[in-house]
Amino acid sequence: MSDLSLSGPETETDASVDRRILVAAKSLISRKGPIATTVRDISDASNTNVAAVNYYFGSKDALVRQILMDIIGPPNVRRKQMLHAAQERFDGHPMPLPVILDALMRPLVECERDSDGGRFFVRVEQHLRATPESEYTRFVADHFDGYAQVFFDAMRATLPHLSRSEIILRYEFVRGAALHVLVNCDPQSSKIATLARGESMLNADDNEAVLLMIVALSLNGLGAPSFTTVR
């Protein structure tokens, strides 16, 4: 095994090397993006040689896809589970918007973080949105766009006066706004601090405070009058 590790002992297990590569790759891919991250970056950060990525994962592409599933998958699965649990509580009746928004936003706010406090999901989403034509963006869309459909249905039941197209636009509006705020709160960004000019701002590490703010602001956008009636 020593031929696959720059410094590991002969007794180092496959699981140990595999784990080092995954941890390093997750951080790098969320920070630099799946396209800009190279095998050399990953091998340097994980203290392995470049052959290790292909040995354990088959290729950089396969490793990136696994990392994307590890980052994007759990919050989306949790969203769907939370929404289904809420539907059971309300016994199939339309749910209040704050309940729907909590199921949509909480997994995003509480997602796994990097060592510096940055949210993996938020960082990766930023890179994917910047490269809509990439194979990785299409890969994520193919796997997870269907999760949005259950929220469209729930919102439509609560807001029956809105067409499905309006529901979709509002969903994208509130989700995009939440991501934008969280991106600007990221430790890698100084945007919020720059805008604040020294004024005290919301603590981005306080998940409940962040969630309360996002849900409160989202309610205004999601519950606004139909734009077909305000022209």
Residues 173-220 pLDDT 10s: 999 999 998 998 898 887 877 887 778 777 888 999 999 999 999 998
- Identify whether residues 131 and 159 lie together within a single domain: yes
Work out the number of other CB atoms within 10 angstroms of the CB of residue 27: 21
Which domain does 165 fall in, by range? Answer: 71-222
Query: Is residue 17 a part of any domain in this protein?
Result: yes
Banded pLDDT at 2 (limits 50, 70, 90): very low
- Identify whether residues 145 and 97 lie together within a single domain: yes
- Identify whether residues 111 and 210 lie together within a single domain: yes
Q: Is the pLDDT of residue 21 over 80?
A: yes
Query: Is residue 194 a part of any domain in this protein?
Result: yes
Question: Residue 119 forms beta bridges with which residues?
Answer: 113
Query: Is residue 81 a part of any domain in this protein?
Result: yes
- Identify whether residues 198 and 107 lie together within a single domain: yes
Distance from C-alpha of 176 to C-alpha of 205, rounded to nearest angstrom: 20
Query: Is residue 148 a part of any domain in this protein?
Result: yes
Model's pTM, two decimal places? 0.86
Domain tally, the chain: 2
Q: What pLDDT, on the 0 to 100 scale, is given for residue 105?
A: 96
Residue that the structure tokens 């509002």 belong to = 170
The CATH number covering residue 42 comes to 1.10.10.60
- Identify whether residues 126 and 171 lie together within a single domain: yes
- Identify whether residues 50 and 77 lie together within a single domain: no
- Identify whether residues 88 and 49 lie together within a single domain: no
- Identify whether residues 19 and 110 lie together within a single domain: no
Q: What pLDDT, on the 0 to 100 scale, is given for residue 171?
A: 94
Q: In this predicted model, what pLDDT tens digit does every residue of 58-73 receive, in sequence order? A: 999 999 999 999 999 9
- Identify whether residues 105 and 142 lie together within a single domain: yes
- Identify whether residues 136 and 40 lie together within a single domain: no
Query: Is residue 64 a part of any domain in this protein?
Result: no
End-to-end CA distance of the chain: 68
- Identify whether residues 83 and 21 lie together within a single domain: no
Banded pLDDT at 12 (limits 50, 70, 90): low
The answer to whether residues 121 and 33 touch, using CB atoms and an 8 Å cutoff, is no
* 12 contact partners, CB below 8 Å, separation of at least 6: 1, 2, 5
Query: Is residue 51 a part of any domain in this protein?
Result: yes
Work out the number of other CB atoms within 10 angstroms of the CB of residue 212: 16
For the chain, give the mean pLDDT. 89
Sign of the CA dihedral running 216, 217, 222, 223: positive
- Identify whether residues 130 and 169 lie together within a single domain: yes
Range of weakest confidence among 5-9, 108-112, 162-166? 5-9
Least Cα distance to 33 among 107, 159, 178, 135 occurs for 135
Q: What pLDDT, on the 0 to 100 scale, is given for residue 196?
A: 76
Query: Is residue 228 a part of any domain in this protein?
Result: no
The answer to whether residues 21 and 45 touch, using CB atoms and an 8 Å cutoff, is no
